Every structure is written in structure tokens, then in C-alpha cells.
Amino acid sequence: MVDKAVLDRYWNDGYLFLPDALTPGELRALNDDFEAWKDESREQTEAYGETLDGRARFDLEPGHTAEHPALRRVASPVEVSDVYLEVMRDNAALDVVAQLIGPNIEYNNSKINSKQPGAATEVKFHQDFLFQPHTNEDLIAVLFFLDDVTEENGPLEVIPETHRGPMFDHWHDGVYTGAVAPEVKADHIDNAVSVYGQAGSACLMHTRLLHGSALNQSGRPRTLFIAEYRAEDSKPLQVNHLPSRYDGEVVRGERTNRVRCSSYEMEFPEVPTGASFFEQQAKA
Ligand SMILES: O=C(O)CCC(=O)C(=O)O
């Protein structure tokens, strides 16, 4: 639990850094499962495994080899790991999520984003809400650091206060790219803040905050477990872009079946088809 000044800072900035979001035991167990997946990926040459909508669960970066495995994304790890499921259901950051948008909180989706040493994949600037509109904007992504995050290994970069500004178009030339136009990035990049911290910490991020992250230029990995939660009265208006059988599970408080609506205008994202997140962003 955190005090009001900290909560106020989140509402002002649109993000919050939390040290000690994971216990040492949780951190070790999450990393053990990820290392096992990374080892398994050595035998693979293309994206593999299957999620609920038929897309691959494990996504490999171009240049992936058995000697230098570059597993860059695991979609819905909570479905294939008891450890990820337990941490998603109960962790110290979730208490703060409940303080901010609770008391009733549902799980929305989760993934692992990993940048292995020298990984060339960047995450282009975007606002998460534009991937899956809801009736209101009380959604928070918790980005758990499974490695120390430094200036060199591709930290999350956020643009403070943009959650209170416009929603930017993620469609370009008739294609949904899941990224803002280069001019939007150029207009904001001078205000970017890189979020560093030790393994075990986390960043809480408002669903409308503009953010991205650069390539990993270091010899050390940077792996994040990202779990997104929503207020129970925030109802999805479109299919989950990371479907999971746990979508909608109440993880704090209780189910009320109330719906709360805010007023906003945006163009709906394209329903995911065969493309992975990074393939979609490559069209930007
Ligand atoms: O991996 C990162 O640095 C950012 C992740 C992110 O923004 C996303 O996957 O939506």
C-alpha cells in the first residue's frame, strides 16, 4: 500500500515506479520459467506454440539461433506457468492498482517482453488503450522487471502526463500499426523519461500514457512480465488482443456487474489476425 501523495503522483504523471513489487522468491521463480522457455526456443526457427485465438505463443526475433536464442515475447504466460498465474493473481503491485482504480479489479491480459543482449527489436511509441477500447479508461499495465533495467538495455520510455492529453491515431494509410505517427513521437520525445530499476521492481502505467522502448545495446538481457488489469466496471468493447482463459477473472474485490462509461472518440483497432505485435508495429 502507498500513501496519497504517491497515488496523486500516478494520476498526475500517468505512471509510477514501485521498488520491491516482487519478493525474491517470486522473482527467482518467474526467471526460472522464462529461462526454461528460452532454452526450449533454441530448437525452434520460427514462432511456435498456440494461444486461444490460434496465434503463436512464443515469438522469436529475426536473427534468433540455437547459440543466441532471442525469444522476444511470450503471449499469456499465465496459461502455461503456475508461477506466472500465481503472481498475476496476487502481488504487491496489485494492492496499489486496487488503491488507484479499485476496489474491484479484473485481469485483462499478460505477456513477457524480452530483449536479449543486442536485441534489435524496439517497441514503437503507442498508447495501450488504442489496442483494446473499454467503456472507461481505468486500466493499468504493471510492468515487472525480471532483470535490472539500465540506460543501455532498452528501458521503458514514458512521456509523462500524456494520459491526460489526446488519443493519437494508430492507423496509417488504412493500416492499423499499433504505433503513433513519427511526427507524434518527434513532438514528445524531448519529454521522455526512461524508467530504470532493479530486478523485482515494477512500473505501473496508465492505459493512455504514450510510451515505447528502444533496442537493447548492452550485453545483458532486459525481460519484463507485463500484466494488465482493469476496474471491474470497465467493460471491453472489442476482443482481447491477447486472449486468455483468465480474461475477466476478479483478482481483487468482487463482481458487481456495473458498467461505467466515459465519453471519448477513437477509431477501433483491427481485430488481431495472424500478425504478432511486432509484425504489426513493423508496418508503421
Ligand atoms: O517492452 C517494453 O519495453 C514496452 C512494452 C509495451 O509497451 C507493450 O508491449 O505494450
Most ligand 1 atoms within 8 A of CB, residue of 113, 162, 163 to mutate: 113
Distance CA 284, CA 278 (A): 10
pLDDT band, very low/low/confident/very high, at 277 (cuts 50, 70, 90): confident
55 C-alpha to ligand 1 centroid (Å):
19
C-alpha of residue 213 to centroid of ligand 1, in Å: 7
4-282 CATH pick, 3.30.930.10, 2.60.120.620, 1.20.140.10, 3.30.420.40? 2.60.120.620
Q: How far is the CA of 3 from the centre of ligand 1 (A)?
A: 27
DSSP string for the chain: ---HHHHHHHHHHSEEEETT-S-HHHHHHHHHHHHHHHHHHTT-SS-B---TTS--SEEE-TT--SSS--EEEEE-GGGT-HHHHHHHHS-HHHHHHHHHH-SSEEEEEEEEEEE-TT----EEEE-GGGGS-BSS--EEEEEEESS-B-SSS--EEE-TTGGGSPPPP-EETTEE-SS--HHHHHHHGGG-EEE-B-TT-EEEEETT--EEE----SSS-EEEEEEEEEETT--BSS--SS--TTTT-EEES-------------PPPPPP-S--HHHHHHT-
Percentage of the chain exceeding pLDDT 70: 100
Q: Name the residue with cell 515505447.
A: 212
CA 125 / ligand 1 centre spacing (Å) = 9
238 vs 272: which has the higher pLDDT: 238
The reported pTM is: 0.97
Which pLDDT value is given to residue 271?
81
Q: How far apart are CA 64 and CA 43, in angstroms?
A: 10
Instruction: State the cell numbers at 194.
Output: 526512461
Rg (CA), the chain: 18
Per-residue model confidence (pLDDT) at position 268: 85
Per-residue CA distances from 203 to 163, 187, 233 (Å): 15, 24, 23
Average pLDDT, whole number, for the chain? Answer: 95
Instruction: Give the residue whose CA is nearest to atom 10 of ligand 1.
Output: 128
Q: For a substitution probing ligand 1, which of 213, 280, 281 has the most ligand atoms within 8 Å of its CB? A: 213
> Which numbered atom of ligand 1 lies nearest the CA of 224?
1
Residues with CB under 6 A from ligand 1: 113, 123, 128, 156, 211, 213, 224, 226
Q: Judging by beta carbons within 10 Å of its beta carbon (0-12, 13-18, 19+), is residue 206 exposed, middle or buried?
A: buried
Q: Is the pLDDT of residue 24 over 90?
A: yes
Distance 257 CA to ligand 1 centre (A): 30
